[in-house]
């Protein structure tokens, strides 16, 4: 397998792993926000006098982190798609080169066989 194809496969693998990492981070942030909202609801249910604004659960830091993770995930997804397209092009090119090499081998075998036959009869 050509080195370029191996490098592209490795890059695609790395992008998928990074994308998975960002998805996990995003789900962690969402789970943390949901847990805080659940805790607030439990507190409100136990003591109705406690009326805390539910929007305070999502502080500006977690919203910024969420937006950053989503943007990075979109970027990685786009990059992954580009790598997959490039990999398909390289695989097609590799198949063409292998077919050309096979034709050259056949031609070389034919020429060598002709030379041997001519040598034997002379």
Is the pLDDT at 9 greater than 60, yes or no? Answer: no
Identify the pLDDT of residue 15: 63
Please give the residue that has the higher pLDDT: either 81 or 4: 81
Please give the residue that has the higher pLDDT: either 47 or 3: 47
Tell me, letter by letter, the H, E, C secondary structure of the chain: CCHHHHHHHHHHHHHHHHHHHHHHHHHHHHHHHHHHHHHHHHHHHHCCCCCCCHHHHCCHHHHHHHHHHHHHHHHHHHHHHHHHHHHHHHHHHHHHHHHHHHHHHHHHHHHHHHHHHHHHHC
Identify the pLDDT of residue 57: 46
Is the pLDDT at 100 greater than 90, yes or no? Answer: yes
pTM (two decimals) = 0.45
Which structural domain range is residue 19 located in? 3-121
Share of the chain above pLDDT 90, in %: 11
User: How far is 6 from 87, CA to CA, in rounded Å?
Assistant: 10
Is the pLDDT at 67 greater than 90, yes or no? Answer: no
What is the number of domains present in the chain? 1
Q: What's the rounded mean pLDDT across residues 53-68?
A: 64
Q: What's the rounded mean pLDDT across residues 40-63?
A: 64
């Amino acid at each position: 397998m050509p080195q370029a194809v191996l490098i592209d496969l490795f890059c695609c693998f790395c992008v998928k792993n990074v994308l998975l990492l960002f998805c996990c981070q995003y789900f962690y942030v969402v789970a943390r926000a949901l847990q805080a909202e659940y805790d607030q609801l439990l507190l409100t249910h136990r003591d109705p006098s406690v009326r805390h604004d539910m929007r305070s659960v999502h502080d500006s830091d977690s919203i910024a982190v969420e937006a950053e993770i989503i943007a990075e995930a979109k970027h990685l997804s786009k990059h992954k798609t580009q790598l997959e397209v490039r990999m398909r092009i390289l695989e097609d090119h590799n198949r063409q080169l292998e077919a050309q090499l096979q034709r050259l081998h056949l031609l070389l075998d034919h020429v060598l066989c002709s030379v041997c036959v001519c040598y034997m009869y002379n």
